[in-house]
Structure 1
């Protein structure tokens, strides 16, 4: 389990993380989300002892990472897939990590096989693609068979097969009772992989809850409406102040500004037949954009 309590980190006059408190439970895949500059990378560095907090605590199973002997046995982390010696082979890199953490040599071949790099074990890392470096970083995180795992943007550079493999790996690790904490900018991946979310902005906590509960906090729900009387219903809905747009060619209308009961009543009063009337809640991406809007460091104009 990961516990962060009133964690604060300042660099000179800049506060990267302030009074941050959350818990990441075992047996779950927990996504770590936030706009650029939110403090995610700083938080991860504080968790594994690469930086010291200005205030508060960040602990792994009740202890700071610096107090854990042979750290890879307790925590595995992938923070930067490029942070490896390009002149070493994949096997040499992992062997050095295993030796430094008193791990059995057979773990090296085991994790190379697990991440699909067994055939590249003797190749120099400098010739690896980004996807291969990501797999090597995941192998390093798994090397000590730790109960807690941290991953920062783990699917960068992976092909579709690799992305599906990572999803399955994270779910399996969580099902084994491990703590899996994944930082990502890809909402689709979090929607498909994570059970819970920790969302921060400008170093402050925005939410710590299930994916479904966070998505439900988005207010931009819409209603899908299908009718043979598209033009007539569109005119009525717009007269009531609703926004109406087609979802796709010959598809249902997507209506915002009126809820499903109001649309159904309006259609009934005007004798219009409805073939579909479905409320769609905001997607995870829509909820994220809405709830972190005030925390975006570098915003761009809407191109529409």
Structure 2
């Protein structure tokens, strides 16, 4: 297991800075990518950043980091815009694109250049490479790295300055199950040290076991800003999973009862009807059932329900 990044222990036992997003807006010509977004990302917890494709998540992260200039509003870290912070990696660490590294550099050379430009001790390079499990790959060229190794290198770069604020965009991409578990535990550990951890990911099954709080946006606007528990209580209604050889026939019967039916890989997920009523309807129409299971909707299902009318690009079969 990789140890948490506490070489100097500077944050353990106290809360760190917060990210304040105030009326943040970004327009590209006639298209508005982010519209009046206001929220606060607090320290001491892992905050998940969710939204459909095209919702404005990456644009928001880039504005926090000063890589994109807002049309209006502001994003500050303890009241200061990131671009005004000298030696930025000491204040904020970020992973936005694991592929954004010159393939000709070795892992150690890449991190060494970042350390020099931010006046970070060279000893940190070896430390963070050990922390992310890449010590044996320090002298290998990044161009030969797998996607999972690039993700680990990106996380190492984010940790390099031992910053109190960390931003991650799709950090689970390319990682094997052991790597995903390590990242999940790392985020929890960082938050436990009092750091501010802001994570954007499409892998909601992982976020569900990682985050304390959620910020959800759709089409550039704030949709929800609340704890994971509160979000789940509001949108995580019970669903019934049904397996049957007569998928199409049962879907039509249930849709006629005003249930919401989603069909995926020959399995029906039904909301709006209890399992007992589904069984009665199937029996009445002579439809064989192999399984009927009631469960509370996952974070992914709650998210899909909340953002159904805010998706730019959709696919799949949903019957009502």
Q: What TM-score, normalized to structure 2?
A: 0.79
Match of 2:144 in 1: 127
Q: 1:186 aligns with which of 203, 206, 209?
A: 203
Deviations 1:205-259 (A, max 9, x none): 00011112112222642479xxxxxxxxxxxxx9xx697x9xxxxxxxx985456
Shift of 1:64: 0.3
Q: 1:164 to 1:54 in 2, by over 3 A?
A: same
Q: 1:219 to 1:99 in 2, by over 3 A?
A: closer
Q: 1:93 aligns with which of 110, 119, 128?
A: 110
Q: 1:48 to 1:256 in 2, by over 3 A?
A: closer
Shift of 1:285: 1.1
Deviations 1:134-174 (A, max 9, x none): 00000000000000000000010000110010011000000
Q: 1:105 aligns with which of 122, 138, 144?
A: 122
Separation in structure 2 between the aligned mates of residue 47 and residue 256 of structure 1, nearest angstrom:
38
Q: What SS is found at the alignment partner of 1:209?
A: strand
Preserved CA contact (<8 Å) 1:30 1:180: yes
Match of 2:315 in 1: 300
Q: What SS is found at the alignment partner of 1:22?
A: strand
Separation in structure 1 between the aligned mates of residue 240 and residue 313 of structure 2, nearest angstrom:
32
The yes-or-no answer on 1:71 pairing with 2:88 is: yes
Separation in structure 1 between the aligned mates of residue 172 and residue 202 of structure 2, nearest angstrom:
10
In angstroms, what is the RMSD of aligned CA positions? 2.8
Structure 2 gaps of 5+ residues are 1-17, 242-253, 262-268, 278-292
Preserved CA contact (<8 Å) 1:27 1:176: yes
Deviations 1:258-299 (A, max 9, x none): 569x98xxxxxxxxxxxxxx9743221111001101111011
Preserved CA contact (<8 Å) 1:111 1:139: yes
Q: What SS is found at the alignment partner of 1:8?
A: strand
Match of 2:220 in 1: 203
Equivalent pairs counted in the alignment come to 273
Q: What SS is found at the alignment partner of 1:192?
A: coil
Preserved CA contact (<8 Å) 1:242 1:255: no
Q: What TM-score, normalized to structure 1?
A: 0.83
The yes-or-no answer on 1:141 pairing with 2:158 is: yes
Q: What SS is found at the alignment partner of 1:200?
A: strand
Structure 1 gaps of 5+ residues are 225-237, 246-253, 264-277
Match of 1:288 in 2: 303
The yes-or-no answer on 1:81 pairing with 2:98 is: yes
Deviations 1:23-79 (A, max 9, x none): 111000000000000000000000000011100010111110011110000000000
Q: 1:163 aligns with which of 177, 180, 183?
A: 180
Match of 1:275 in 2: none
> Computing the radius of gyration over CA atoms, which structure comes out larger, 1 or 2?
1
